Every structure is written in structure tokens, then in C-alpha cells.
A and B are shown apart, each in its own frame.
Chain A
Amino acid sequence: MFKKETLPLIIGIGLPLLLIVYVAATVYLPSLFNKPLYDFIYATGYDSRYATVENQTVKLNQKPSYYPNEASRSPEVDLYYYDVSRESSKLISVEEARNYELDPSEKSPDGYTVSNNRDRSYSFFPLFYGGSDRGTYLTGHGVSKRVSEKYYDLKFLGWIKK
């Protein structure tokens, strides 16, 4: 027979389990059915804003001089190639980056975007500090994947054209 004390125990243990199932479903189910198809290139570093896309290729613009007699300087930028199938970034040279034809649109042809998340994970007790959500993410169709932990000085340049 169902004992009186069984119900609170079921609620007590069942609710957290339900939340875990819900979380697993929201995180993993969409990524089973939706796979991003387009790799992309992004720039990081303090000077990343000087990296642009012109004529569908990467271009590093010179930094303007601060003083009248100072010559313009080359920006210090790291370029990365993000492989969507491996979900990982690889450091590439400017020359390598120039081998790719880029589409600088905000949204990829299959409907994904790359954006920075500056919001810190909100918590009201030390117990609930869930690590930081800050970073750059590839999002779309219910999928979100962390591209980099950097949420500043990271500039998306373009999708690799197929």
C-alpha cells in the first residue's frame, strides 16, 4: 500500500530529477536534430576591431598613429578558424585566412549567429554560482555552443563560403 510518508519523498527526489531531465532535453535534443553547417573565422585581441572583411577576404587595417610623426602600426590580432563539425577553434595565420572566401552576414545561410554573452550567471547564494555564462556562442534553432570564453575583444569576421 502507498504509505503516507512516500509522497513527500517522491516529490523531494522526483523534482530535481525532473529538472535534470528537462535540462538534458533542452540542451541535447535540439543539437541532435540541428547541426550547423558553416565554419567561420573570428579575430581576437585588443586590436581585433582592425580586422575586417573586404571583397570576401580577411583584411587587417593599419592602426592609426596617436602622434603626428608616428607611423601607423600593424594591429596585433589572432585569427581563428572555427570548425562546426569538431566544435573547436584553430589558430590560423593571416595568409591562411585569406585563402577562404567569407560571407560577413550576421546570420549564416543555415540560420545561425555568433554573438557575445556578457551576462554573468545570476546567483543569490554561493551555492548557486553556476560558473559564468560569459563568452561567445554559436546560437540558432534551439542550439547554443560556446565558441570561446572570451566575451570581449572578439570579432566575428564571416562564414566560410562553400
Chain B
Amino acid sequence: MNGTDNNRTDQILSELSALIESGQINKKQILDLFKDEQPTEAEQSKVNLQTLFYVLGAFIVIVGIVVLIYQFWADMDQITKVLLTLGSAISAYSIGYYLHNQEKTKELGLAFLTISLVTYPIGIGTTLDLVGVSAMEMGGLTIISAILFIIYFASYFAFKTWLFLPFVVAAGSSVFITFTNLLFENALTPKHFNEYRGLVLGITYIALGYYFSLVRKPSMVSIMYFLGFILFLGASIILTGFKPNINIIWQFAYPFLLVLTFYISVLAKSKEILIVGTIFTFAEILKLTSEYFSRTLGWPIALIIAGLVIMGVGYFSFEVNKRLIKHQSQP
């Protein structure tokens, strides 16, 4: 390299550090530049097939463990139960940890880690039972969820793989639900508390989906948006109430929430949000038809009108996907 090249390199590096400091570029984006060339199609399909076998194998092992536990559960003493359940989880986790650290067996390591993630809840529940904390009561469930959340969250930071994220979210949600249930264990739950809790969890999932889109975790974005909008719209439609107990404010707001959902699906270029929005629009049409038109128009005519409107919404949704979502997603 000559002097001019060195100057240029220094300049680029200083610009790069300025971008890093301002947060406009992250470590992963830089590391991606050093990555080898993309695998060929044949290599890609080999990798996919290998992953498929690992996933299938892990699933069969999980089924095997569950069936084994189920068959002999009644005959086992508590210590054996703990050894079998928590023991399987810890063994699978250790093997997964070892294999994941080897470059060649990374994927296989993930399969073992999946086995441990699924068996940990049973293992921790059985262990708590041994020390006298019932896993069938809200207090026990809250403790199990909290321990799982800590394990999954720590594992996510240790392994830096997205595999743990759905488990982190599931355990976090479980802590939230069981803990709020625990708070109301000996008191009357306020009216519509479950619906508002669903609404809050829905907004949380949507916010996390947006967060994952910003930090480039595409696998999590679809899951979070899908579940988030199901919870959000599901809780909202129940809050509208059913005749004769209609809640006017929610009844009025619900169509706007559906429009907002379609708008967000276009903004986020998300087919999942569009599908959920469409299904809940169908649900609202059928709900309104049964509540307001079935008696005045009669069921047959109300159904024909509802069917036509649903076809119209379906066509609209299809067109939105074709023109605005698919079109914009293409590079």
C-alpha cells in the first residue's frame, strides 16, 4: 500500500468509527462484510436437509422423553422423577453447549439445546415439587416461569442465537400472566381484566416485533407481529361486547383499529399482519351481521350480504398484498 492508500484507509476507518459511535452502523453489519461468499445452491440444500434432520431428530427425542416420562411417572419416586426430567434437560443442554462450540457441529448443538429448552419446564416443575412448591398452583407456576426466563435469557446472551428468543418471550409472558394471576389469587379480578391484559401483551408483542425489525432479527419479526395482532384485535373484539352488553366506545373504535392494522401491514410490509387483520375483519362482519341484521333482514339474506362483504374484504386484502406488500418487498 502506498501513502495515498494509507490516507484513504485512515479516512474510511475514521468515518466508520464515527458511524459506529453515532449508532448508525452495528457490529454485525461490519462483520457481514468479512463473511465468505454465499454457499452454492447445492451446499445450501445440503445444509437445509441437515438442519431438517436435526430438527426432526430433536422432535422425535422430545416425544420419546415425554412418552417415557408419561409411561413410568406413577411408578417413580420423586428423586427419580427429578433425575429423569431435570437430568435430561441439563444433559441435553451440556451436550448442546459442547457441540454448538464446535464449528462443524453448530447446528447439531442447536438441536440438543432445543431438547433442553423444551424439557427444562418439566424438570424445574418436578424439582420444585420435591422441595414442596406445587407446580400446579399460581405461586409455583410464577417461580417456574421466572427461573425459565432467567435460563433462556442468559442462554440467549451466551449463545447469541435467535433460537432462544421465542423461549425468552414465552417465559416472559408466562411470568407476566402467572404473576398477575397470583396478585389476584384471593381477591376479585376487576371486570375485563383478562381482555386488558391480552391487549397489553398484544401491544408488547407488536413493540417487540418492531424492535426485532430494527435490530435485524427477521425470524422473530413475523412471529411477534402475528401473535401481537391476534392478541390485540382478539382482546379488542371481546371488549366491544356482545348484544345486549355492547360497549359503545370499543364498538365505535374497533373498525378504526382494523383500518390501523391494514395501514401498519403496509408500513411494515407484513403479510402476517394483513392476514390477521383480514380474519378479524371477517369476524367483525359476522358479529355485526348476527347482532344487528339477522333479526331485521332474516338469517338467509344477512348471510348473503355478509358473504359478499367478506368476499370484498378478501379481494381488498389480496390486492393490498399484491400491490403494496409484495411489490415493496421485492428488491
Residues on A lying within 8 angstroms of B by beta carbon are 1, 3-5, 8-9, 11-13, 15-16, 19-20, 23-24, 26-28, 87, 117, 121-125, 127-128, 130-131, 133, 137, 139, 143-146
Kindly identify which residue among B190, B210, B238 contacts A26, using a CB–CB cutoff of 8 Å: B190
B200 near A27 (CB under 8 angstroms)? no
A127, B177: Cβ atoms closer than 8 Å: yes
A122–B195 Cα distance when bound, in Å, is 8
Partner of A133, one of B183, B189, B192, B207: B189
**Contact residues in B for A9 (Cβ distance below 8 Å):** 207-208, 211
Is B194 an interface residue, CB under 8 A from the partner?
A: yes
Additional pairs, 15, CB under 8 Å, beyond known A3-B23, A145-B187: A8-B210, A8-B214, A11-B204, A11-B207, A12-B207, A16-B201, A19-B196, A19-B200, A20-B180, A23-B184, A122-B238, A125-B198, A128-B177, A144-B187, A146-B187
- The verdict on A8 contacting B208 (CB below 8 Å), with A15-B203, A121-B189, A145-B186 known, is yes
> Min CB distance, A154 to chain B, in Å?
16
Interchain nearest-CB distance for A114 vs B (Å): 12
State whether the Cβ of B88 lies closer than 8 Å to any Cβ in chain A.
no
Determine if A8 and B211 form an interchain contact, defined as CB atoms under 8 angstroms apart.
yes
Q: Which of B205-246 contact A (CB under 8 A)?
A: 205, 207-208, 210-211, 214-215, 231, 234-235, 238
Q: Count A-B contacts at CB 8 Å.
A: 100
> With A121-B189, A124-B235 known to touch, is A5 a contact of B211 (CB < 8 Å)?
yes
Instruction: Give the size category of B's interface with A.
Output: 35 or more
List 8 tightest A-B contacts by C-beta distance, closest first.
Answer: A12-B207, A144-B188, A5-B214, A8-B211, A11-B207, A8-B207, A12-B208, A8-B210
Report whether B238 and A124 are in contact in the complex, using a CB–CB cutoff of 8 Å. yes
Given known A8-B208, A20-B179, A124-B234, contact A130–B184 (CB-CB < 8 A): yes
A4–B193 Cα distance when bound, in Å, is 32
Closest chain-B Cβ to A136's Cβ sits at a distance in Å of 11
Q: Which residues of A contact B10 (CB under 8 A)?
A: none
Residues of A within 8 A of B51 (CB): none
Cross-chain contact B190 with A133 (CB below 8 angstroms):
no
Contact partners of A19 in chain B: CB under 8 A: 176, 180, 196-197, 200
Contact: B181 with A131, CB < 8 Å? yes
Using A23-B180, A122-B194, A125-B234 as known contacts, say yes or no to A137 and B188 having CB atoms under 8 A apart: yes
List residues of chain A with CB within 8 A of the CB of B208.
8-9, 12
Bound Cα distance A8, B217 (Å):
14
Q: Which of chain A's residues has its CB closest to B174's CB?
A: A127
Given contacts A3-B23, A130-B194, contact A117 B211 (CB under 8 A): no
- Answer whether residue B138 sits at the interface, using C-beta atoms and an 8 A cutoff: yes
Distance in angstroms between the alpha carbons of A1 and B187 in the assembled complex: 44
Contact yes or no, A133 B188, CB < 8 A: yes
Q: B179 near A5 (CB under 8 angstroms)?
A: no
Whether the pair A121, B187 counts as a contact (CB closer than 8 A) is no
Give the residues in chain A near B192, CB-CB below 8 Å.
122
B185 within 8 A of A: yes
A9-B211 Cα distance, complex, nearest whole Å: 6
Can you give 19 contacting A-B residue pairs, CB < 8 Å?
A: A8-B210, A11-B203, A16-B176, A19-B176, A19-B180, A19-B197, A20-B179, A23-B180, A23-B183, A28-B183, A121-B194, A124-B194, A124-B235, A124-B238, A127-B177, A130-B189, A131-B181, A139-B188, A145-B186
**Residue of B22, B179, B185 touching A131 (CB-CB under 8 A):** B185
A4 to chain B, nearest CB (A): 6
List the A side residues contacting B193 at CB < 8 Å: 23, 130
B203 neighbours in A (Cβ, 8 Å)? 11, 15
Give Cα A24–Cα B173 distance, bound, in whole angstroms: 18
Contact B200 A15 (CB under 8 A): yes
